[in-house]
Structure 1
Amino acid sequence: MSHVTTHVLDSVHGRPAAGVHVRLLHGTEELGTGVTDADGRVAVGPDRLQPGTYQLVFATGEWFADRGIATFYPEVRIAFGIDGDPHYHVPLLLSPFGYSTYRGS
């Protein structure tokens, strides 16, 4: 299992956001990529990561464009710190003109 998972929810329509491209970065190094499944979930990156600062990058502009919806955010970048826990879950609640995130379980 990946050390990092995410769940993207389309908060406008109240359902999972399937088909969002997601990348995991450490600095400029790309550690993994994936696309959210029908439930809006994806695991990215290796099963273990060293402590440090990482980023999840969501291709939100592409996802909204595919649905014919204008958006203010061409991408969402979430920086977060890893301190040795075995798993990190970083959900994204998404709308065309805003987003929210938190540390999930």
Structure 2
Amino acid sequence: MAGYLTTHVLDTARGCPAAGLKIMLYKLSGNSHRKLLEVVTNDDGRTNAPILPAESFETGSYELVFCAGDYLRATGQAGDDPLFLDEIPIRFGMSDAEAHYHVPLLLSPFSYGTYRGS
């Protein structure tokens, strides 16, 4: 089985999935960032398909950029400009060509967390 990448965004301040949050995926190589795709989370805070499916999966360094500011504004949680959190980049490596990598984001207006999920 080939590897693949998924994500999930939970709004911990409201206690629900973060629907409608835009996410960009970049492949990193040295000082180069190559944008692979842009997606929006569904009602469950997930993407409708793996963000990097098995047929496109490659090991290497990547960055997910979560557009938290737009989401926080849309849900009335933003507060005054400039926002404390706006775009949240998470850089990570994937070294196992057969693994499922899951990079979730736990989000509130003033904090976030992530981990390697399953």
TM-score normalized with structure 1 length: 0.90
Secondary structure of the corresponding residue to residue 44 of structure 1:
coil
Structure 1 consecutive aligned stretches of length 4 or more whose deviation exceeds 4 Å: none
Alignment-derived partner of residue 40 in structure 1: 45
Alignment RMSD (CA, Å): 1.8
State the one-letter code of the partner of 1:91.
P
TM-score normalized with structure 2 length: 0.81
1:55 to 25, 39, 63: 63
State the one-letter code of the partner of 1:19.
G
Deviation of the 1:45 alpha carbon = 3.1
Alignment-derived partner of residue 35 in structure 2: 30
Alignment-derived partner of residue 76 in structure 1: 88
Alignment-derived partner of residue 5 in structure 1: 6
1:66 to 58, 62, 74: 74
Which of the pair has more CA radius of gyration?
Answer: 2
CA distance in 2, matches of 1:5, 1:50: 14
Structure 2: stretches of 5+ with no match in the other structure: none
Structure 1: stretches of 5+ with no match in the other structure: none
Secondary structure of the corresponding residue to residue 7 of structure 2:
strand
Deviation of the 1:74 alpha carbon = 0.8
Query: Between the two proteins, what is the percent identity of the paired residues?
Result: 47
